[in-house]
Amino acid sequence: MIIACPHCDTLNRVPQERLTEQPTCGKCKQELFAAAPIELTSTNFINHAQKSELPIVVDFWASWCGPCKSFAPIFSDAATAWEPMFRFGKINTEEQQSLAAQFNIRSIPTLMIFKQGQLLAQQAGALPKPAFDQWLKRYS
């Protein structure tokens, strides 16, 4: 399985049966699973959402958004609970306006799941933890 490093964005090949054995990046030597969402930008988005074979759950958010702030701890907790089944990434729509425009983000938070560049699911609005877990379970 091809997985992008959350620290240096390098693509790594990891056998699927070894995903739970805390694999490390061949370049920077850090763990491939940080149990925390990564900050996605127009620079690293391609490696994480298109080239990586690991599905990524993306939270499009903004610092001024109240629902985004209240959903942030739920999203962070999910990264701890659901890795290595999913990677979790956040896109600040104010700083990454080109990505927000590319995906027609009209309301925030907006959640999307990508696998190798394909959009698997989209959800507008924050979800309570049980509903978010149920949504993730459908795509695991």
Look at residue 106 and tell me if it is in a domain.
Answer: yes
Please report which confidence band the pLDDT of residue 45 belongs to, taking 50, 70 and 90 as the band edges.
very high
User: What single-letter amino acid sits at 50?
Assistant: Q
User: Which CATH number is 121's domain given?
Assistant: 3.40.30.10
Read off the tokens for 39: 């900050």
**pTM for the full model?**
0.96
Number of domains forming the structure of the chain: 1
Give percent above pLDDT 90 in the chain.
Answer: 99
The pLDDT, as a whole number, for residue 71 is: 98
In a domain, 63, yes or no: yes
Residue 115 within a domain: yes
In a domain, 58, yes or no: yes
107 falls in which pLDDT band (50, 70, 90)? very high
Residue 8 placed within a domain = no
Place 19 in a pLDDT band, splitting at 50, 70 and 90. Answer: very high
What domain range includes position 73?
A: 33-138
Confidence of residue 78 (pLDDT cuts 50, 70, 90): very high
Q: Is residue 2 part of a domain?
A: no
Q: Known catalytic residues? A: 65, 68
Average pLDDT, the chain: 97
pLDDT the model gives residue 101: 97
Determine, yes or no, domain membership for 12: no
Q: With respect to residue 103, please indicate whether it lies within any of the assigned structural domains.
A: yes
